[in-house]
Structure 1
Amino acid sequence: MLKEKIDIVLGRVLVVIMAVMVLNVLWQVFARFVLGSPSSFTDELARYLMIWVGVLGAAYISGKNMHVAIDLIPSKLNKNSQLRLKMIVSVIIILFCFFALFIGGGRLVYITYTLEQYSPALQIPLALVYLVIPISGALIIFYKVSDILNKQS
């Protein structure tokens, strides 16, 4: 199934990003305290990798339905009402992700690309850094639509 393949790929991407981030921070500590000459790019790279891990990790957790939830109200409802409430919540999440992450993030990527904004130390386009926002929005939308379709069948 497509969802499982996306889970596997996304999980591996997150592992690679974390590994690169750990190596980057280790290099930063080694360069600063052993070599006595701190590296100029490591702080910025760690910051951007943390952004990608956080935002893509949110999409991954959303797909696994492992996000934090308060289930006080659903626990007091019958099964049919619980299903309806989950559908309403999923639709609200889809709308938020579509307008805020996908459309808003896409606009942010477009504006930073058009203005040719680059990061100070790495000299990479900031549009690449912000690209994770619409990607994550699309992934969350996919996961929530998949959840809705699986609950109806």
Structure 2
Amino acid sequence: MSHLLHLICQLLEKLLMFMMAAIVVTVSWQVFSRFALRAPSSITEELARFLLIWIGILGAAYAYKTRAHLGLDLFLEKLNIQAQRKVRLLIEVLVMFFALSIMVFGGISLVSITLELNQISAAMGWQMGWIYSVIPFSGALITLFCINNIKQLLFQSVAKGEL
């Protein structure tokens, strides 16, 4: 499983880098076309917005995997090792519950409703359901990362005879 997660993390990293480069090019073209050509492009504005949505939500999954997300561990560090592992396990379960219930199931509901209602973006004409599909996808990634973290916490605790 760790090899698969490593591959997923590498693909996610490359996708995020590509999207960051794409948003820089898109916004640069928007600025150039607005001020130099005096003919702003509405497509670039919408594309930049969609890229920002995808970067933010996929970036949250990547940050969770690499443990780069914001966390307050001031109280956690004051606990003994055994209590720290139990609290970390509880946190992982709560994050997994949120990712599954809100992001995956709620996101799938949002995607299906917007596809069913045929909501179309104004400038590009894309179905908004496909734009929103990043929410359940990212939720599934976070859930997968949680399962791996829980597995590591449990095997560390069992190996040391603490749980």
- What is the letter of the counterpart of residue 132 of structure 1? V
Secondary structure at 1:19's aligned position in 2? helix
**Could you tell me how far 1:70 is from its partner in structure 2?**
0.6
Q: Which runs of 5+ in 2 are unaligned?
A: 156-163
**What's the counterpart of residue 60 of structure 1?**
62
Paired with 2:84 and 2:77, the residues of 1 have a C-alpha distance of 8
Q: State the identity %.
A: 40
- What is the letter of the counterpart of residue 44 of structure 1? E
Tell whether 2:21 aligns with 1:19: yes
Paired with 1:76 and 1:60, the residues of 2 have a C-alpha distance of 28
- What is the letter of the counterpart of residue 86 of structure 2? R
| Runs of 4+ in structure 1 over 4 Å off | none
**What's the counterpart of residue 141 of structure 2?**
139
Paired with 1:75 and 1:149, the residues of 2 have a C-alpha distance of 21
Tell whether 2:125 aligns with 1:120: no
**What's the counterpart of residue 107 of structure 2?**
105
**Could you tell me how far 1:152 is from its partner in structure 2?**
1.8
Paired with 1:30 and 1:123, the residues of 2 have a C-alpha distance of 23
Paired with 1:50 and 1:146, the residues of 2 have a C-alpha distance of 28
Q: Which runs of 5+ in 1 are unaligned?
A: none
The alignment's C-alpha RMSD in Å is: 0.7
Residues 31-70 of structure 1: pairs in structure 2 closer than 5 A: 31-70=33-72
**Could you tell me how far 1:76 is from its partner in structure 2?**
1.1
**What's the counterpart of residue 2 of structure 1?**
4
**Could you tell me how far 1:81 is from its partner in structure 2?**
0.4
- What is the letter of the counterpart of residue 87 of structure 1? L
Residue 76 of structure 1, aligned match among 59, 75, 78 = 78
Deviations 1:83-128 (A, max 9, x none): 0000000000000111100000110000000111110001000011
Deviations 1:63-91 (A, max 9, x none): 11111111121111100000000000000
TM norm structure 2:
0.92
